[in-house]
Amino acid sequence: MLKRKIYDALLEWKSKKDRECLLVQGARQIGKTFIIEEFGKKNYANYVYLNFYQNPGYKEIFEGSLEAAEIYKKISIYVKNVRFAEHDTLLFFDEIQECPNARTALKFLAMDNRYDVIASGSLLGLHYREMTSVPVGYERTMEMFSLDFEEFLWAVGRTPDAIEALKGFFDRKEKVDAGIHEQFMAALREYLVVGGMPEAVNTLLKTNNYQEVYATQKKIMESYREDIKHYASTTARQKISDCYLSIPRQLAKEYTKFQYKVVSREGNARRYENSLNWLVDAGMIKLCVNVSTPQFPLVAYEKPDQFKAYVTDIGLLTSLYGYETQTALLKDTLTGPAKGGIYENLVFDMLVKRGAALNYYKNDKNTQEIEFLFAQDGAVIPVEVKSKRGATVSLNNFIAEYKPPYAYKLVAGNIGVSGTKITLPLYMAIFI
């Protein structure tokens, strides 16, 4: 079983919740069902599972009255061997986007408060308009991703103690021993290729074969294409696929801002904006928006028409480039702008999975670009990403002009400190 951080978050919700259901959302096949099932079976006397995609008949439970007592009665009709024990039963509604009435019913189940309720869904944003009422105040939302780099390290045998020892170098801003540094850089390159999709990670653990991992990733991509066919309108399907498949090309440019003309020659916002929003709602990509001024609060200075698009699993991104590219990443022989874009997506992956809200900054004169900005304690912290050795003119100018309390430069090399600029190995993004 892959160890996941969200398990502890589920335990915390159970111990502290008060009349609220939990909604776990995220892309398909990231392990939502598995971890919630494990949580339910280990922490409750009774566990009741309803999957609305697998069994559409369960939708009938939520037709008519949505009073809690009526729902429990209907569950006892539709689900075999069901048992209820007050304050010791978990109801798990999986793929809840298939049953908008069940999402509405969360409010009444939370008010009843006899049993705990967790719902999960992968395409909730796409079904928002179908809901008669959103259970505001009775629903806590938790976003889940594929395995982050630290969880990947656990999976491949790195102990929490070893990672804590590595964090000691980060805390002390002390160079990492050469042998340890190379081991973690090798693990990072492996994460670049495998990513965090549980099925891909398990394939690696079972086979030790990167070609098998790549085949698993292609299977996952095929399931995503099937989702597009199933959930998107006929006129939107090709546009959505074209937007997603353009991301490797978007990231291979010197300036990785998303450009509609890279999707197609006739590309523009009017033609493709809804398709991008679909991918965001499905959890397949996230956007990082430029700001006109790198000041706190960043959201006040966002330029919504200027953004970068990143795939939410780094392994799926590199699989889009093909197995030969993945091999070059493992060997660290890849060169050119594509490598820089891939490492940008890697750092985005690592920071977002830590809960960071990210923007980027490129000035109007195109003379200064900072890959990522995040706010901390009322200050704006810049992060520059370098897949290879090189000067940091933009970061140096940013420090001189905006005087952040500190700034990060992420590189393939070791730790170094120069004034407020802190140079870190790329794998230490998990500690930022």
Q: What is the CATH number of the domain that holds 70?
A: 3.40.50.300
Note whether residue 253 is domain-resident. yes
Number of domains comprising the chain? 2
pLDDT digits (tens, 9 = 90+) for 388-422: 766 789 999 999 999 999 999 999 999 999 999 99
Tell me the mean pLDDT in the region 227-241: 93
Note whether residue 240 is domain-resident. yes
Residues 175 and 302 in one domain: yes
**What is the distance between the alpha carbons of residues 182 and 194, in angstroms, rounded to a whole number?**
18
**Which of 91, 125, 143 is the last residue before a domain boundary?**
143
Residues 118 and 232 in one domain: no
Structural domain including 128 reads 6-143
Structural tokens at position 73? 């009665």
Note whether residue 360 is domain-resident. yes
Burial class from Cβ neighbours inside 10 Å (0-12, 13-18, 19+) for residue 256 reads buried
Residues 177 and 72 in one domain: no
Residues 194 and 208 in one domain: yes
Residues in the chain: 432
Residues 153 and 127 in one domain: no
Residues 230 and 364 in one domain: yes
**Which of 143, 177, 204 is the last residue before a domain boundary?**
143
Note whether residue 193 is domain-resident. yes
Q: How many CB atoms lie within 10 A of CB 398?
A: 24
Residues 101 and 226 in one domain: no
Three-state DSSP at 24 gives strand
156 φ, ψ (degrees, to nearest 5): -90, 10
CB 159 within 8 A of CB 208: no
Note whether residue 33 is domain-resident. yes
Residues 139 and 259 in one domain: no
Average the pLDDT over each of 176-185, 194-203, 260-269, 389-398 and give the range with the smallest value.
Answer: 389-398
pLDDT digits (tens, 9 = 90+) for 44-55: 999 999 999 999
**Which of 143, 167, 201 is the last residue before a domain boundary?**
143
Note whether residue 1 is domain-resident. no
Residue 267, pLDDT > 50, answer: yes
pLDDT digits (tens, 9 = 90+) for 302-321: 999 999 999 999 999 999 99
Residues 127 and 188 in one domain: no
Tell me the mean pLDDT in the region 360-378: 93
Note whether residue 392 is domain-resident. yes
pTM: 0.94
Residues 163 and 18 in one domain: no
Residues 371 and 228 in one domain: yes
Residues 23 and 126 in one domain: yes
Residue 128, pLDDT > 60, answer: no
pLDDT bracket for residue 129 (50, 70, 90): very low
pLDDT digits (tens, 9 = 90+) for 56-108: 999 999 999 999 999 999 999 999 999 999 999 999 999 999 999 999 999 99
